[in-house]
Amino acid sequence: MNIKWSICVLLLWANVALSDEPARLDYSSATDFTHISVTLKGAGNADPAYVEVDVSLSPEAKARTQSITLLTYQKYVTLYVDGYQLSTSRVQSQLGGAFRFLAPRALAVEWMSEFSREAMASQPTM
């Protein structure tokens, strides 16, 4: 671990240890997720305003997630994705490189338009 990450972890630990506010897990879908899978409708999803999202994290995001969840064990963490506050929950174990959450449909629509524009821009033209 380089000095930059060590300082980041130290500052995060000090923030968590000295405050009652939840720590933040903040992700950018463009850089932190290597795989996104969205379930629009499922038996366990009772609210149609939300979709179920499975993500795999980049190595950097995975390391950040593991250190934050290790430091906040039995404390609260708030999950943010692309600026959306999604949930606040108590950390029961260290998160790894993949997890599932509920997201507003508006976020899924943003992803579809953003990633479809990127896919179209990378397509060769005739």
What pLDDT score was predicted for residue 113? Answer: 82
Q: What is the CATH number for 48?
A: 3.30.1360
Alpha carbon 20 to its chain's center? 21
97 against 14, higher pLDDT: 97
Kindly compute the dihedral angle of the four CA atoms of residues 60, 62, 67, 71, in this order, to the nearest 10 degrees.
Answer: 140
Name which of 98, 85, 108 is nearest 24 in CA terms.
85
Average pLDDT over residues 58-87: 92
Q: Is the pLDDT of residue 25 over 80?
A: yes
The 10s digit of each residue's pLDDT in 30-70 is: 899 999 888 887 777 677 888 899 999 999 999 999 999 99
Number of structural domains found in the chain:
1
Phi, psi of 97 (to 5 degrees): -90, 0
**Cα separation, 15 vs 63, whole angstroms:** 18
Q: Which domain covers residue 25, as residue numbers?
A: 3-122
Query: Mapping DSSP to helix (H, G, I), strand (E, B) and coil, where does residue 28 land?
Result: coil
